Structure 1
Amino acid sequence: MDQATLPTPLREAVTVTTAGATGVARLVIQGLLDLIDDPAAAADATEFLTARLPGYAPMWHIANAVRSAEPAEALRRIRAELDHAVENTVKAAVTWVGEQGVPVTSAPSSSIVNQILAQLPESLRVGEPAVALAGADAIGPDTVLNIRGTRELAQRLPTLIVTTALKLVPEPVFARLGAPVFEHIPLDGFVGVVLDGELLTPGEVGRRAAELRE
């Protein structure tokens, strides 16, 4: 498939550098909905996007939706659940940072983290950081895939992952994900994970990923 023939949201999805994985997922869903009345075109676009976005766990969930019996309904359901999940995660993480009562820093390139930071009082955004936030491009049973620099951050400060269930994938899928800008970090290197608004231990999140089937 020629990138030039893709709907505008899909062209943006493979070129944007500031949207984060959640923002990219929204662009992909909108673009595929624009094609969904042409099953062959939607399938070709999905294959193209999977190859062009090798570090994005949401593509696995989205591709499964496109291959389902009711792809339009499945894509819209993912989008609706994603919007609700992000809102809940932001609220829970803002509460967590407030309970720590100390300045926070973050790994870059997460739209969810940016929303959290925007809701924090200035007293928690300035000064020497004592805790950190990070997004996740993918979470497998034992490992997190995220932007380079996340490992160093998690080793230096107690770091909370803030994300949605759209980032969870089974081990065989996780093993295929990756790109030069990403690094693998042991899941147990984080203090916790806020998933769809629920504060979980790394072990609980890893078990949820392990329960998924390709």
Structure 2
Amino acid sequence: MSNSAAAAVLTTADLSGAIRAVRTLLALAGVGHGEVDVEAVISSPDALARVRDVLPGLEWWAAAGKEHGSSDGGDAPAGCLPVRVFDWGRPLDRAEPFAAAVGPDPAAVRWDLDAWPAVPEAGLPEVSQKYAYLTLTVHSRDLYQDEPAQDHTVHVHVEDLDADGTDRVHWLAAQVGGRFTGRVERASL
């Protein structure tokens, strides 16, 4: 297992604007072999129903702990709200419907990319799939839904914030009209 540095490059109250930025970055990176991972803290029965329609069979457990209910235990999630939901390795077409389905609840969608491309004019080499990820946090400032917010943040992942990593983060931010805010989280991959 390795870690990446997830750098915030765009924060906006407009979810459709955040998704447009994600689409731009996805087009740069390529997602021929991509997949998405999702997680959220769901508080309402309506959001839970919408999320389960988009991702049937997703794993969940009570936010208070698995001993208070989980998919492994065969419990009914609506009786255990709020619940944490997780799903890994989903097809790319599930990302946007999931982000819309969570409503006001905090969530994260992470795209596993083919690579960050080489950018010769900026002196940036290609970055392998191992460190090429993109995360959209919905109603959360952080990757793990610990900082609920009214807005949404696009994070680009790089191996480290050495010279190449910082330059790449600035370059990617510029591609979506954002800027590197200096906010970075370590993400387990």
Is the structural similarity TM-score above 0.5?
no
TM-score of the pair, normalised by structure 2:
0.28
The structure where helix makes up a greater share of residues is 1
TM-score of the pair, normalised by structure 1:
0.26
Q: Which has the higher contact order (CA 8 A, sep 6+)?
A: 2
The structure where strand makes up a greater share of residues is 2
